[in-house]
């Protein structure tokens, strides 16, 4: 039975959270008010706090979930990597799925539906986290340790949501509490200020979260110390803070993670929350419709999918001869449009052992989304130390390669112990591209390493513009000009 970290188990809290969101986004509600505001009757005890923290996970799930079609099309697995040297939009023709086509062709209007979902869903998550962080401190807990954990989980998630916003838009409005009437128009903070806020939340989360290895199995699925450390590594490397990547990597590696022995099983059912899985978002196929839409989006039409995100030959050719990760990551099937190379990592049967959904439609799949993996952390660490400690960087790259080749010593030899400088850095870049293919990192990796202009300009990328998305036109309008647009 799957452990649910992000399922709202009480419909009562859904109504409270929705009411709070409505209050924070509306200028005025006309007419008489009957009854007592339900938010004032909530956050009275530890059970309320548990329901509240469950709700705070929900927007994280919604980004890849069934109920919001354009949310699934806005996540990094789809919208993020389309238009790179790794993936084409796919679909049934060049112009279907307009928001992805706009991203692929680098002609992104401020009305793009996927862009609007990135903004809306992350700020919904931030609201739910702010409710926890403002209300729970006043609740008396018998288990004071659990109270501390709940607050730390909310800080992790708030950092997670803000990080997605900063990656998409640059500096964004920083809202650290539920807003009152008249406070809604918050101007954008700078990118530096936004990152500082994210880091402060993660530092608090790291200090107060336990490791899941110290907790019973029932805790699996909650954000824990490993998740906070892994996210801090990612936040740091996106800012080119390499010393900080090393500091938090050392702490993460001391927690007891190890690479799962079989690469091809990482994205199968048996690979969920494996020894090298640092954070996942749980999904399940059931009548409550708590599945993910991603497998349907990236499956071929012949398998009831939308055929999005087909790999380009350049990515397929990046894999070394007989690298097992190629067939573990992709499969090929005939198509009328595109390359026919589809992502296996989030596939249905027969291309994985996740079954096609039997309830709730075809976009109600049980595949967990793997958010942070140990191999990713190893490669971030290698990139951080390659210039100061090349032998250490080589060690971590070779750990990733050794796991990939398994018992077949005839393939994927270790990279040379003499590699240094640009040659070593390029080896790390290569390893990231093949190890993490189809996991939504390519676009951000090219931007943060200043390779986007060289590799993506032939596709329409313009330096100084396309590193960020446009703020949604609707948000600019609602702010009466307080929010300033990016270079669009």
User: What pLDDT shows up at residue 37?
Assistant: 47
Residue 191 vs residue 28, higher pLDDT: 191
Return the pLDDT at 20: 42
At 289, the pLDDT band (50, 70, 90 cuts) reads confident
Instruction: Name the residue ranges covered by the structural domains of the chain.
Output: 294-367
Geometric angle at alpha carbon 313, from 308 and 318, rounded to 5°: 115
> What would the two tokens of residue 256 be?
């007891």
Q: How confident is the model at residue 26 (pLDDT cuts 50, 70, 90)?
A: very low
pLDDT at 38: 66
Residue 49 phi/psi, 5-degree rounding, is -65, -40
> Which pLDDT tens digit goes with each residue over 123-166?
999 999 999 999 999 999 999 999 999 999 999 999 999 999 99
Confidence (pLDDT) at 362:
85
Query: In sequence order, which residues have a C-beta less than 8 Å from that of residue 237 and are 6 or more positions away?
Result: 245, 380, 383, 384, 448
- Residue 126 CB: number of other CB atoms within 10 A? 25
Question: Residue 2: its pLDDT value, please?
Answer: 53
Q: Are 69 and 117 in contact (CB under 8 A)?
A: no
Measured distance between the N- and C-terminal CA atoms of the chain, rounded to whole angstroms: 47
Neighbouring C-beta atoms of residue 477, cutoff 10 Å = 11
Paired tokens of 30? 């006309």
* pLDDT confidence bin for 12, thresholds 50/70/90: very low
Task: Quote the CA–CA distance of 285 and 283 in Å, as a whole number.
Answer: 7
69: left (phi over 0), alpha (psi -120 to 50) or beta: alpha
DSSP E strands in 314-471: the ranges are: 330-332, 341-343, 369-373
Q: What is the pTM of this model?
A: 0.93
Instruction: Output phi, psi for 385, to 5 deg.
Output: -110, 5
3 has a pLDDT exceeding 70: no
Q: What is the pLDDT of residues 209-254, one digit of tens each?
A: 999 999 999 999 999 999 999 999 999 999 999 999 999 999 999 9
Portion of the chain with pLDDT greater than 70, in percent:
92
Reported as a pLDDT band with limits 50, 70 and 90, residue 70 is very high
- The highest-confidence range among 9-13, 177-181, 194-198, by mean pLDDT, is 194-198
């Amino acid at each position: 039975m799957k452990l649910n970290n992000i399922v709202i188990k009480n419909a009562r809290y859904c109504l409270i959270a929705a009411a709070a969101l409505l209050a924070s986004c509306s200028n005025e509600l006309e007419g008489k008010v009957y009854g007592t505001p339900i938010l004032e009757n909530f956050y009275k005890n530890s059970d309320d706090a548990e329901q509240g923290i469950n709700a705070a996970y929900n927007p994280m799930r919604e980004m890849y979930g069934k109920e919001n079609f354009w949310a699934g099309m806005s996540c990094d697995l789809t919208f993020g990597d389309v238009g790179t040297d790794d993936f084409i939009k796919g679909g049934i023709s060049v112009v279907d799925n307009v928001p992805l086509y706009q991203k692929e062709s680098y002609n992104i209007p401020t009305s793009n539906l996927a862009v609007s979902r990135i903004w809306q869903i992350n700020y919904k998550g931030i609201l739910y986290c702010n409710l926890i962080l403002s209300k729970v401190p006043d609740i008396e807990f018998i288990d004071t340790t659990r109270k501390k954990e709940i607050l730390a989980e909310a800080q992790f998630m708030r950092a997670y949501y803000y990080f997605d916003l900063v990656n998409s838009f640059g500096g964004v409005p920083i809202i650290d509490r539920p807003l009152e009437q008249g406070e809604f128009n918050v101007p954008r903070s700078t990118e530096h200020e936004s990152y500082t806020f994210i880091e402060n939340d993660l530092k608090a989360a790291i200090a107060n979260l336990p490791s899941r290895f110290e907790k019973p199995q029932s805790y699996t699925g909650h954000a824990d110390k490993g998740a906070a450390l892994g996210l801090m590594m990612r936040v740091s490397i996106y800012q080119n803070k390499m010393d900080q990547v090393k500091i938090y990597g050392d702490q993460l590696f001391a927690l007891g993670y190890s690479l799962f022995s079989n690469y091809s099983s990482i994205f199968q059912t048996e690979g969920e929350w494996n020894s090298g899985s640092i954070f996942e978002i749980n999904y399940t196929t059931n009548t409550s419709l708590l599945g993910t839409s991603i497998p349907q989006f990236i499956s071929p039409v012949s398998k009831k999918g939308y055929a999005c995100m087909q790999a380009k030959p350049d990515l397929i050719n990046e894999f070394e001869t007989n690298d097992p990760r190629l067939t573990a990551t992709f499969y090929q099937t005939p198509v009328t449009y595109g390359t026919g190379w589809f992502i296996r990592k989030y596939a249905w049967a027969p291309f994985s052992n996740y079954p096609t959904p039997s309830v709730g439609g075809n976009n109600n799949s049980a595949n967990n989304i793997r958010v942070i993996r140990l191999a990713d952390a190893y490669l971030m660490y290698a990139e951080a130390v390659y210039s100061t400690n090349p032998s250490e960087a080589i060690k971590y790259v070779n750990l990733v390669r050794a796991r990939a080749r398994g018992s077949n010593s005839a393939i994927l030899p270790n990279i040379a112990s003499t590699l240094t400088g640009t040659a070593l850095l390029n080896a790390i870049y290569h390893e990231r591209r093949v190890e993490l293919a189809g996991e939504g990192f390519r676009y951000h990796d090219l931007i943060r390493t200043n390779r986007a202009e060289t590799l993506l300009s032939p596709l329409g990328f313009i330096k100084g513009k396309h590193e960020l998305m446009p703020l949604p036109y609707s948000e600019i309008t609602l702010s009466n000009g307080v929010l300033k647009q990016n270079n669009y």
